[in-house]
Structures are given as C-alpha cells and as structure tokens.
Structure 1
Amino acid sequence: MPAPFKSHPSDTQVLNQNIRPLSECPKRLVKREHGWIEVTDVPILTGECLWHIYQKEAEEIVAPGGVLIPDPVARNQAINAAYARLWLADPRFQWAGLAAFASKQVGCGMLHATRVTQLIDEERDARQALRGFYESGMHPEKLPDTENPALKAAIERHLMAANANPVSTYDAYKRGRPLSLIQESFDFVNKMMALGNTTLFLDVYPLHAFYAKRGLEEFRKCLPMRKKIFGHSDFPVLWPVDKEILPFGLFKKEVLQGFEAIEKGQTAESVKQLAIHEQKNILQPSMYSSRWLVKLLRGNHAAFVTGFPSGVSQAIEVTLSSQCEPLEDGRTISFSDSIFADLSVLEERMPFVFRAAEQFHTMLNDHRRPQIEQSIREIASGTPS
C-alpha cells in the first residue's frame, strides 16, 4: 500500500527560516538613494508555502497535470482510495476512514444514475428502430402474426428494453434535446454530487497532510494563513466552486477543534468536529444551496419511501463496506423512512451523519474491526468486495 503523502524537501525544513545556506543564495544589485547595494535573496519557508505544497498534492490526485479527471466516477474512486489510505496510514484519522465509505456511497449513486440513463437510452433506441418499421408500412397487431424476422426481433427488443427501463411510462423529451427530462435530472445530480465530492476532498485532504507532516503547533499557527494562497496568478489553486458561494480556505473553528481532538486521542470527538465542518462549512453551501438539487433529492427520497416509480430512486444510506448494496448486518445506516425527511436541511442530515460515525467507531472497537479494515483496504486498492 503506497504512503498517503508524498515526500517534500520542506518536510525537514524549519518554518520561517531560510531553506538554503547563505552561501548558496543568489545575490543581485539594487539601486538605492545613495548608490547601488548588493542584496542577497534568502528563500524562507512560510506557512503559505506549506499550504501551497499540500494543496497541490491534493490537486494531483483529482486533477493530474492540472486537469480534473473528466469521468466523475473515476475521480470519485481516486478520492475514495486517498481517504482510505489516510486511515490505513494513521488510524487516528478516523474521519478519513468514514469518509472513504461515505464518498464510496456517492460513487454508488453516480453508478445508479448512469445505469438508469443507459436503460433509458436503450429503450429510446429500440423504440426508434421499431418506429422505422411502422413508418415503412408494417403494422402487426400481434407479435405471433408477423412473418418478418427483422420486425419480430425489433418488437422483442423494444419490449425487453421497455420492461427494463424503470421510467418508461413517466419520462419525456423536450424538442431538440438529446436527453430526456429524467436523464437531465440525473445528469444534474451527478454533476452536483461530483462537485461536492471534489470540493470537500480539496478542502480536507491538505488539512490532514499539513497536520501529519508539521504537527499541531504549526497547524494551529498556520491555519489562518491558508486562505492567502488563493488568487495568485503564478500559483493558481484549483477550487471548483464559485468563490462567492464558498470562498477557499476560510478559517473554521471545527477544523482546529477536530485536529486538537486527534492530538488528545479523542478520536470520536475529532470525527464529530470534522463531520460538522464537512457538512456545514463545505457541502451545505457548495451543494445544498442549489434549489434544483434540493428539489430532486426530495423527489428521490419520496420515491424511494413510497416505491413509486419503482427502480428509479435510490435509498439515502451509507454502507460500511466496499460494495454498494445494503447489508443486513448493521453495516448499513439509513437516513430516514419518513416521506417528509429532507437531506438538504443540515439539522436533519447531521443525526444521520453522527449515526454513521457512531456505528463506524463501534465496529472499529469490537470483533468486526477486521471486516471494516478489509473493506477499507479494498477501497484503497480500488477492488470491490
């Protein structure tokens, strides 16, 4: 298993001191009022330098070469693996272990949406192929009566595709648009989920890197400096959310409290504080401020609770396993069975998050720990169970 963080020259350098011997520092002449003087440029390791290093390390995971991994599912898998490696390297990073499962669940939702979209496409293609026969004058009233093998195959293909498509009766297309209304909804939800998933990773991964490499004292001292690295044209920061919606690197007390709890060995408290930061400070403004997303999530939850239409919606849950399917052994934590529950409301979402955190903590401290460890290793390696 590779180490979660890269090695950097700064790892052994002292904060706020020169990083080169004075004899190796470049010199230049500068004109002053009373003539020319020789100036030595001494590079100093600052907090901003460190934040820039760790931010770039996170960016390379989701955007190698400076370009975001275009496939949101592949990007999600890279994020899942990075979270899992954090916990495997240092079990004190329990939030990261839980995040590996929660982020994996985001990917499960993306895969579900992709599968339904494919079924819609298959049914549409089969219908268009069958329409071609009808437009040519072939109008069989009953399947057994047809003498045309190609037409019979087209009818059977359409029947199979229509039966497999869970939204065949409820979907519609707008003129001139390649996607159906439900496909457009799935596409929007996937983009928003990927946005939240990526933004959270770019916020939290560098925090863990800084703490792991530099310790709590420097972390506490430099945390307020993080926001200063944003906006430099020579050293751009990848931040997928509009800065007016969610500014980069704002100092949040929950972050400091979370890592202070790690330092004290208060693992459960650290998970709680970082979970509050995750949900309140990052996901709430970046995702749940979208009215259209909120509407779609409400519709998904209501459809799942009522079972109508069947096969379209997906349960809001976290399964503490590398697989997507829910389990009956206590590893699946569900959001709510109330039709009125609203995932976008922070006060309703946090109890769900805390239940997942509590169950994760419990399982890590009983006979099921090897089972949890194995699942995290599978996520870290990208191997499904």
Structure 2
Amino acid sequence: MDDLSTTRAANDPVAGCECSCDRGWQDVQDEVNQALRSDDPLERNRQITAAYGRLAEADPRNIWVRLASYVSVQGGCAMQRTQAWDAQTVGRMVVNPSEAMDALQDANRTIFSSIYPVVRFAQKCGAAQLRRCVESGAIQADSSLLDAMDKLEQGDLRGASDLIAEHEQVRIVQPVYERHAGTFRDLMRAESLMPGDQTSIPIAKHCTRDNLVSIDGLDIRNPQDRVQYYQRLVNRMLQQEGTFRPGGGGATGTW
C-alpha cells in the first residue's frame, strides 16, 4: 500500500487505503470487469451505460461522462437496428448484421474500458492521486487524460471534456474504425440508401429518431470531424439539461 500522509483531512479523497494506487485501481478495474462480464453485446451495452450513468450522478462536473451516458444508449439502439434489418431491407442487402454488431460493440466496449477507469479513479481518489499513481508506474494513463482531470478539478469543465473527447476520437475510436473499415463503410452506404437521416443521433436515453443532432457537413470517418460532432452533441445536451448546478455543494465550473 502507498504511504499516505496522516496529516490529510478525514474527507480528503486519498486519505484511506481504498485510494492507494493498487487498491484504488483494482477496485475500479473490478467495476469495469463487472460491466463487461456478459457475452451478450446488448446486455453489456446496458451495463456500460449504467456505469456511465452512476458516474455522471456521482460527478456531474464531468461533461464527457454525462454525454457518454446518452451516447452509449444510442450505440445500443444502433446495435438493435442493425440486427432488426431483415433480408428484404436495404440495410440487410448491404450490411452483414454479425459484422455490424461486432464493429459497434467493439467501439462501445473499447471506449469504456479505455477511458472510464481513469475518470472513475480520479472521481474517487482525486486528480492529484491519479497523477501520483501514474508517475510511480502503478497505473498507466495517457497524459491528456491526466491533464483533463486536472482541468476538471480546477473548474475548467468544458476544457476537461474537450481534452477527453480529443483523446477518445483520435486515440481510441480511430483504431476501431480502422479495424472495421469495411463494415463502417457498408453501414454508411446502407444509411445513405434509407429515407431520412440515419447517421445523426439524439440526446436521449431511449431509442428514438426525433430531435437529432445533425452531423451535416461532417465526415464521420474523420476523427477531427467526430470531435466537432462531439461539440454539437455537448451543446445540445447542455441546452436540454439546462443550467449546470452541481449538487451537494460541489465545485462550480465554467463551460
């Protein structure tokens, strides 16, 4: 166990052994493994979405996590739609449902397992302890995520969120797109052949095609365009949720 100072206040997030590098990180990994334990991609998606939701409630300052709790729902909806295409639909003629499910669940799982542990540890134990654990070699985390957690604790909520989103789309999602390039290309073709906007998503925690946040003018294959779309989604989420007021006397921040 790490040597934690006994001079810390009792309410300091790293004042107990539950936030030592080894114990704290293992507890977070146990949460991740619990969410990923199902072999059913749709059930796994529900567990991932629930984990995002719990973390968003625990730390509503984290805009990225709040948005993830919506986007993960819509990822599950996309999985359901591709599996519902029957042999007579345009989608089924263009896209292999099994390959579509594999690509979509890969994105859902990879984003969660790559980012959730870091932001959850920071929420539980503090950004300073996260950085100490990374610098000691006990935890591995990208420096951009450490900087994002520092910004979050300093009150730059939008800056923190933007850093996570940039890391997510460039470092995490882009390799997923490249692994499933043919499948995502087929999905885009199928969506283009169907009536209405099949690519944009709403800010909703249920499956709907109403009130979509338009992706018009952006190429979903381009990571920087996806970052721009993320900004559109955040703006819509903040509009729908209203003025941010963290509960429980939490720190205020700037959008």
Bin of the TM-score, shorter chain as denominator length: 0.7 to 0.9
Deviation at 1:225, TM superposition (A): 5.6
In the alignment, what sits opposite 2:29?
55
* Consecutive unaligned residues in structure 1, runs of 5 or more: 1-13, 18-44, 64-68, 121-164, 172-180, 230-248, 370-385
Partner Cα separation in structure 1 for residue 53 and residue 79 of structure 2: 19
Task: Answer yes or no: is the 8 Å Cα contact 1:211–1:219 preserved in 2.
Answer: yes
Deviation at 1:224, TM superposition (A): 4.7
In the alignment, what sits opposite 1:351?
228
In the alignment, what sits opposite 2:2?
15
Task: Answer yes or no: is the 8 Å Cα contact 1:288–1:294 preserved in 2.
Answer: no
Aligned AA for 2:62?
A: F
Task: Answer yes or no: is the 8 Å Cα contact 2:103–2:184 preserved in 1.
Answer: no
Show the 5 A alignment for 1:162-173: 165-167=88-90, 171=93
Deviation at 1:109, TM superposition (A): 0.5
Partner Cα separation in structure 2 for residue 278 and residue 358 of structure 1: 18
Pick the aligned partner of 1:292 from 178, 182, 205: 182
Show the 5 A alignment for 1:79-158: 79-116=48-85, 119-120=86-87
Deviation at 1:215, TM superposition (A): 1.2
In the alignment, what sits opposite 2:157?
267
Distance 1:354 1:98, change over 3 A: same
Verify: 1:255 aligned to 2:145, yes or no: yes
- Where 1:326 maps in the other structure, the secondary structure is coil
Pick the aligned partner of 2:214 from 334, 341, 344: 334
Partner Cα separation in structure 2 for residue 363 and residue 264 of structure 1: 25
- Where 2:165 maps in the other structure, the secondary structure is helix
- Where 1:325 maps in the other structure, the secondary structure is coil
Verify: 1:219 aligned to 2:193, yes or no: no
% same residue: 23
Deviation at 1:57, TM superposition (A): 2.1
Partner Cα separation in structure 2 for residue 353 and residue 288 of structure 1: 20
Aligned AA for 2:242?
A: N
Pick the aligned partner of 1:364 from 232, 241, 244: 241
Pick the aligned partner of 2:171 from 274, 281, 286: 281
Task: Answer yes or no: is the 8 Å Cα contact 2:145–2:167 preserved in 1.
Answer: yes
- Where 1:287 maps in the other structure, the secondary structure is helix
User: Taking structure 1 as the reference length, what is the TM-score of the superposition?
Assistant: 0.54
Deviation at 1:53, TM superposition (A): 3.0
Aligned AA for 1:271?
A: S
Deviation at 1:48, TM superposition (A): 4.3
Partner Cα separation in structure 2 for residue 95 and residue 225 of structure 1: 27
- Where 1:343 maps in the other structure, the secondary structure is coil
User: Taking structure 2 as the reference length, what is the TM-score of the superposition?
Assistant: 0.79
Partner Cα separation in structure 1 for residue 61 and residue 25 of structure 2: 21
Partner Cα separation in structure 2 for residue 293 and residue 106 of structure 1: 15
CA RMSD of aligned residues (A): 2.9
Verify: 1:302 aligned to 2:192, yes or no: yes
Q: RCO greater where, 1 or 2, for CA within 8 Å and sep 6 or more?
A: 2
Partner Cα separation in structure 2 for residue 291 and residue 202 of structure 1: 21
* Consecutive unaligned residues in structure 2, runs of 5 or more: 5-18, 245-255
